[in-house]
């Protein structure tokens, strides 16, 4: 079982911080201009800090739990802090594989692999926090595995 | 390339003209002042809008062309942004025909082609003559059959243009001959069956309809309310001060009475909706396709190719179970996000359970299923959960009583706890899963029991989820995801609250059987090739 790059925690916390900042901004704006509920700025800041703290704890646990492996016939993932989910994606079912690098991901030097299936619930499965080389390698490996297990039936 | 029926052009031009005129009129009357338009423009807005919108509709009609050439359906459309689309016939999942009331009078039909993937219907022909709709459907159907037999799809007769009328007629003859020889009626609704179905199938949507329609029937509602008040011996005038005017016991009685009336009204709406939707339902098997027709005002008909069936679902609600009936739903990967709600894919609305299971086996062979229930500790979990709900409701009742009603009867809500054990037991009893030689079966739900039958070779991904509460009791929920659209509506095959270890074993088993099944099917396909 392979775990994610430790720096992914930074990425997740960063994401929480940004989302929190947007939320806080909206709250402040709503208070100032619409007069819906005007919270003191200190309270908003404290809320933001609390959110980021929670996010950090979540990120640490999420990283500790996140595992994936390329088994004989399926890609296997374990994730989820609150609700733990094991997912197995049979290689036959892989439709296509992407590597993506968003701006935030690029800034910490990481990449993600997204695996698409024709299913409805798990139509796209993302493996975040990979080194770019590892992401490319994984994508190519998955593509090969999917090609090898090519099946007759199409959807 | 063919055009749509000219009568549909007349219809859409008329519709466009009317809409444009109304739009222009609205703009002219309401916005003229705010926009500061000169006075002479205002009377021109309505005719102008009519001409523009009508012209656009006409242009759209002339730009819209379609044809089936070789093994693709080609559609060209768009006035400003031009679009041309090719759909391989082999990829078409469903062909649906709809005839609205107006279209029926004019003798037109709307044909929709659905493929897997995509967020909307891939091609809609609005509208063509019913005979043309039939022809298109038969070509797609025939292509599917040919592909199944692995013979090359013959081009003669499938390639058609308006100038090849003779070939078209020939194809029609061949197709209808084929249809006639293999069409076999599987199921039809008589008046009595339809009425039974309308009575036993309860639609939660009816309540929504009722609430939405409330503003229109507000006088009726108030009248009923007044009648209720009179019945309870109070001053028959509806006012806001009413709450104080009549005592708490009467208020509770009023609420109960109104609730009963609303329920009866919702049931009536539900029955009417079902009657309108399923009037004259027939299910026919034509070769490898199922074909249904239904509807009182709006006629629906569609084909479900058996080779593309993803899951087969048997639904039974409490009433149906009591009388031994069931509903059969057949899901393909077509349709996008439940655009037809609960009615999509319904192959048999209501039939005796054995008949339904026989049909389901006909579609996807599987043996008798004996469903394995979740472990007993799952039942304890449900009991705990229901107990929490009962506690919360009692709390609400207490708060309401002390603050508002002060009747002192809040402890009646404690009676809810008596319901906890039977509720937990029923939920537990109606959940379970089974593995047979060919399929994975998952069942759940007491009020509406859903039994999903998933062939192994249709499984896409397998999830095992454990919430914190499930982890406490070493339980897990296994989900077998398919490309079927039912899972979007929460109808995916879930084995709820099974033992953690069983779940991981099951996951491995499903994965294994998926490959075995796929390889077997591939070998079969290869051997028929030779």
Span B107-127, average pLDDT = 81
Q: Give the C-alpha separation, B395 to B299, whole Å.
A: 50
Span A38-49, average pLDDT = 84
Contact A88 B511 (CB under 8 A): yes
Question: Is B417 in the same domain as B440?
Answer: no
Inside any domain, residue B13: no
Inside any domain, residue B283: no
B214 — pLDDT class (breaks 50, 70, 90):
confident
Question: Is B356 in the same domain as B382?
Answer: no
pLDDT in tens, A66-124: 999 998 888 999 999 999 999 998 888 888 888 888 888 888 889 999 988 887 666 67
B224 — pLDDT class (breaks 50, 70, 90):
confident
Residue environment code for A34-67, b if the CB has 16+ CB neighbours within 10 A, otherwise e: eeeeeeeeeebeeebeebbeebbebbeebbeebe
pLDDT in tens, B318-361: 888 888 889 888 887 766 444 444 456 677 888 888 888 888 88
Question: Is B261 in the same domain as B370?
Answer: no
Interface of B with A in 314-353 (CB under 8 A): 333
Contact A118 B116 (CB under 8 A): yes
- CA–centroid distance for A15 within its chain: 10
Give pLDDT, residue B170: 47
Contact A85 B463 (CB under 8 A): yes
Give pLDDT, residue A106: 87
| Strands of the A124-130 sheet, one edge to the other | A94-100, A111-117, A124-130
Question: Is B407 in the same domain as B313?
Answer: no
Task: Count how many pairs of residues, chain A against chain B, have C-beta atoms within 8 Å.
Answer: 95
Kindly give, in sequence order, each residue whose CB lies less than 8 Å from that of residue A91, ignoring residues fewer than 6 positions away.
A73, A74, A75, A142, A145, A146, A148, A149
Query: Does B15 contact chain A (CB < 8 Å)?
Result: no
- Nearest CB partner across the interface for B479, out of A80, A118, A121: A121
Contact A90 B514 (CB under 8 A): yes
Q: Give the C-alpha separation, B18 to B50, whole Å.
A: 6
Between strands A124-130 and A111-117, the pairing is antiparallel
Contact B463 A155 (CB under 8 A): no
Residue B454 β-bridge partners? B440
Contact B463 A82 (CB under 8 A): no
Q: Give the C-alpha separation, B239 to B232, whole Å.
A: 16
Closest B-chain CA to A95: B460
Neighbours of B364 (CB within 10 A): 18
Contact B468 A82 (CB under 8 A): yes
Contact A118 B483 (CB under 8 A): yes
- pLDDT above 80: residue B169: no
Q: Give the C-alpha separation, A143 to A148, whole Å.
A: 9
- Nearest CB partner across the interface for A85, out of B457, B464, B512: B464
Reading the block at residue B340, the tokens are 């037809």
State the smallest CA–CA distance between residue A147 and chain B in angstroms: 14
Inside any domain, residue B4: no
Q: Which residues of B touch A93 (CB under 8 A)?
A: 459-461
Give the 3-state secondary structure of residue B246: coil
Contact A121 B333 (CB under 8 A): no
State the smallest CA–CA distance between residue B501 and chain A in angstroms: 13
Exposed / middle / buried, residue A18 (Cβ in 10 Å: 0-12, 13-18, 19+): exposed
% of residues, chain B, pLDDT over 70: 84
Span B24-35, average pLDDT = 75
State the smallest CA–CA distance between residue A43 and chain B in angstroms: 31
Q: Which residue carries 């079982």 as its tokens?
A: A1
B32 — pLDDT class (breaks 50, 70, 90):
low
Q: Which domain holds residue B341?
A: 309-374+431-529
Inside any domain, residue B256: yes
Interface of B with A in 439-458 (CB under 8 A): 457
Question: Is B344 in the same domain as B441?
Answer: yes
Query: Does B522 contact chain A (CB < 8 Å)?
Result: yes
> Residues B454, B514: contact at Cβ < 8 Å?
no
- Where is B422: in which H helix or E strand? helix B416-429
- Nearest CB partner across the interface for A83, out of B465, B483, B514: B465
- CA–centroid distance for B34 within its chain: 45
- Nearest CB partner across the interface for B466, out of A83, A152, A155: A83
Q: Give the C-alpha separation, A90 to B31, whole Å.
A: 60
- Nearest CB partner across the interface for B518, out of A82, A120, A151: A151
Contact B461 A118 (CB under 8 A): no
Give pLDDT, residue B390: 93
Domain range summary for chain A, segments of one domain joined by +: 8-64, 69-148
Q: Give the C-alpha separation, B31 to B288, whole Å.
A: 58
Give the 3-state secondary structure of residue B458: helix
Contact B91 A154 (CB under 8 A): yes
Count how many domains chain B has: 3
Query: Does B511 contact chain A (CB < 8 Å)?
Result: yes
Kindly give, in sequence order, each residue whose CB lies less than 8 Å from that of residue B71, ignoring residues fewer than 6 positions away.
B88, B89, B90, B143, B153, B158
Sign of CA dihedral B55, B56, B58, B59: positive
Contact B479 A152 (CB under 8 A): no
Q: Which residues of B touch A75 (CB under 8 A)?
A: none
Span A43-59, average pLDDT = 92
Question: Is B325 in the same domain as B260?
Answer: no
Give the 3-state secondary structure of residue B401: helix
DSSP B234: S
Give the 3-state secondary structure of residue B371: coil
Most A CBs within 10 Å, among B460, B495, B511, B525, to test the A interface: B460
Span B21-46, average pLDDT = 76
Span B247-256, average pLDDT = 73
pLDDT in tens, B171-213: 444 444 444 456 788 888 888 888 888 888 877 777 777 777 7
- pLDDT above 80: residue B128: yes
- Nearest CB partner across the interface for A119, out of B460, B507, B518: B460
Contact B481 A84 (CB under 8 A): no
> Residues A126, B494: contact at Cβ < 8 Å?
no
> Residues B148, B132: contact at Cβ < 8 Å?
no
Inside any domain, residue B152: no
Reading the block at residue B75, the tokens are 């559609």
Question: Is B491 in the same domain as B443?
Answer: yes
Question: Is B247 in the same domain as B382?
Answer: no
- Where is B442: in which H helix or E strand? strand B439-444
Q: Give the C-alpha separation, B192 to B190, whole Å.
A: 5
Closest A-chain CA to B511: A90
Q: Which fold has domain A69-148?
A: PH-domain like (2.30.29)
Query: Does A155 contact chain B (CB < 8 Å)?
Result: yes
Residue environment code for B337-361, b if the CB has 16+ CB neighbours within 10 A, otherwise e: eeeeebbbbbbbbbbeeebbbebbe
> Residues B103, B110: contact at Cβ < 8 Å?
yes
Q: pTM for this one?
A: 0.77
């Amino acid at each position: 079982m392979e775990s994610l790059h430790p720096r992914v925690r930074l990425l997740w916390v960063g994401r929480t911080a940004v989302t929190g900042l947007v939320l806080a901004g909206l709250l402040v704006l709503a208070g100032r201009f619409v007069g819906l509920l005007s919270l003191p700025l200190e309270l908003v800041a404290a809320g933001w800090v609390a959110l980021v703290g929670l996010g950090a704890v979540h990120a640490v646990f999420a990283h500790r739990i996140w595992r994936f492996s390329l088994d004989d016939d399926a890609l296997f993932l374990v994730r989820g802090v609150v609700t733990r989910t094991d997912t197995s994606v049979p290689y036959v079912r892989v439709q296509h594989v992407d590597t993506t690098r968003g701006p935030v991901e690029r800034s910490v030097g990481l990449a993600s692999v997204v695996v698409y299936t024709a299913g409805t619930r798990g139509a796209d499965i993302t493996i975040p926090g990979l080194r770019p080389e590892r992401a490319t390698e994984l994508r190519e490996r998955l593509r090969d595995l999917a090609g090898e297990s090519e099946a007759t039936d199409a959807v | 390339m063919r055009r749509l029926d000219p009568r549909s052009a007349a219809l859409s031009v008329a519709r466009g003209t009317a809409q444009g005129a109304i739009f222009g009129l609205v703009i002219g009357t309401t916005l003229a002042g705010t926009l500061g338009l000169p006075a002479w423009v205002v009377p021109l807005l309505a005719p102008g809008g009519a001409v523009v919108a009508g012209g656009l509709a006409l242009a759209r009609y002339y730009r819209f062309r379609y044809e089936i050439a070789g093994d693709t359906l080609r559609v060209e459309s768009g006035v400003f942004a031009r679009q041309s689309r090719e759909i391989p016939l082999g990829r078409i999942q469903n062909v649906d025909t709809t005839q609205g009331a107006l279209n029926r009078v004019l003798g037109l039909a709307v044909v929709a082609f659905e493929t897997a993937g995509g967020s909307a219907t891939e091609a809609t022909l609005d509208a063509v003559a019913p005979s043309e709709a039939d022809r298109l459907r038969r070509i797609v159907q025939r292509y599917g059959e040919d592909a199944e037999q692995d013979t090359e799809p013959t081009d003669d007769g499938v390639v058609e243009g308006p100038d090849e009328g003779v070939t078209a007629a020939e194809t029609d003859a061949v197709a209808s001959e084929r249809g006639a020889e293999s069409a076999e009626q599987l199921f039809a609704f008589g008046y009595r069956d339809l009425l039974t179905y309308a009575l036993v199938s309860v639609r939660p949507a009816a309540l929504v309809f009722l609430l939405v329609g409330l503003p229109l029937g507000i006088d009726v509602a108030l009248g009923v309310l007044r009648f209720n008040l009179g019945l309870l011996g109070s001053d028959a005038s509806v006012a806001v001060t009413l709450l104080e005017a009549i005592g708490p016991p009467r208020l509770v009685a009023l609420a109960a009475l109104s609730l009963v009336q609303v329920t009866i009204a919702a049931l009536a709406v539900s029955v009417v909706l079902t009657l309108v939707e399923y009037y004259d339902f027939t299910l026919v098997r034509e070769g490898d396709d199922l074909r249904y027709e239904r509807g009182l005002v709006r006629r629906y008909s569609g084909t479900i190719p058996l080779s593309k069936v993803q899951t087969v679902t048997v639904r039974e609600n409490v009433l149906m179970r009591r009388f031994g009936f069931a509903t059969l739903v057949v899901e393909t990967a077509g349709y996008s996000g439940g655009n037809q709600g609960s009615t999509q894919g319904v192959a048999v609305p209501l039939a005796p359970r054995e008949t339904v299971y026989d049909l389901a086996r006909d579609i996807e062979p599987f043996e008798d299923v004996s469903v394995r229930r979740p472990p007993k500790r799952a039942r304890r979990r449900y009991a705990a959960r229901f107990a929490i709900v009962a506690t919360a409701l009692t709390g609400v009742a207490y708060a309401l009583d002390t603050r508002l009603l002060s009747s002192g009867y809040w402890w009646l809500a404690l009676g809810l706890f008596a319901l906890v054990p039977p509720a937990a037991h029923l939920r537990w009893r109606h959940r379970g899963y089974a593995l047979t030689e060919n399929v994975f079966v998952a069942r759940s739900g007491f009020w509406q029991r859903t039994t999903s039958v998933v062939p192994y070779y249709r499984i896409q991904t397998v999830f095992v989820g454990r919430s914190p509460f499930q982890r406490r009791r070493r339980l897990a929920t296994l989900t077998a995801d398919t490309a079927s659209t039912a899972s979007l509506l929460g109808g995916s095959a879930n084995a709820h609250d099974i033992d953690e270890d069983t779940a991981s074993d099951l996951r491995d088993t499903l994965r294994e059987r998926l490959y075995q099944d796929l390889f077997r099917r591939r070998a079969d396909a290869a051997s028929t090739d030779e």
